[in-house]
Amino acid sequence: MGNKTYAMIKPDAIRNGYMGKIIDHTINAGFKILGAKLIRLTKAQAEGFYAIHRERPFFSELTEFMSSGQTMVLALEKDNAVSDWRKTIGATNPEEAEDGTIRKKFATSLSENAVHGADSDENAKIEIGFFFNDSELISNQ
């Protein structure tokens, strides 16, 4: 089990004023923030990031949404980071997410679901590499 994962606070959560609350929730859940940047994804970046969903009917809606405003990109550290972060955020659809999870508390809908979490150690490494250089990943918390 790796100890790093890749996360994003998506544009809906930032627009709705939840960025600070989600960072608090993340730290209280035991994650260290190795890297953080507030960026606006270009449409091309969103399409590249979600390329695995290229054939899905919601691809265009997803990439429009993900490039519609600010996103906070995060590299997180914790034992079992990938699976613990997926538990911390809850199910993709906030209506199905367990009470107390980030998506249950802060997501709007299936498409605008507040946060992202890598689904494997391999993808976490690839996704962190998409947005961070090694020199930007610092652990001192």
Backbone angles phi, psi at 115, to 5 degrees: -145, 160
Q: Binder to ligand GDP among 3, 16, 45, 92 (CB under 6 A)?
A: 92
Indicate whether 113 belongs to the interface with ligand GDP (CB under 6 A).
yes
For residue 86, CA distances in Å to 22, 40, 44, 107, 132 come to: 14, 23, 26, 14, 21
Specify whether 116 is catalytic: yes
Q: Which is nearer to ligand GDP, 43 or 136 (CB)?
A: 43
Which residue of this chain has its Cβ atom nearest to ligand GDP in the complex?
Answer: 111
- Compute how many residues bind ligand GDP; rule: CB under 6 A: 9
Site for ligand GDP in 54-73 (CB under 6 A): 58, 61-62
Catalytic entry in 4, 86, 103, 116: 116
Cβ burial 66-102 (10 Å sphere, 16+ → b, else e): bbbeebbbbbbbbeebbbbbbebbbbeebeebeeebb
What residues act catalytically?
116
Which residues make up the interface to ligand GDP (CB under 6 A)? Answer: 58, 61-62, 92, 110-111, 113, 116, 119
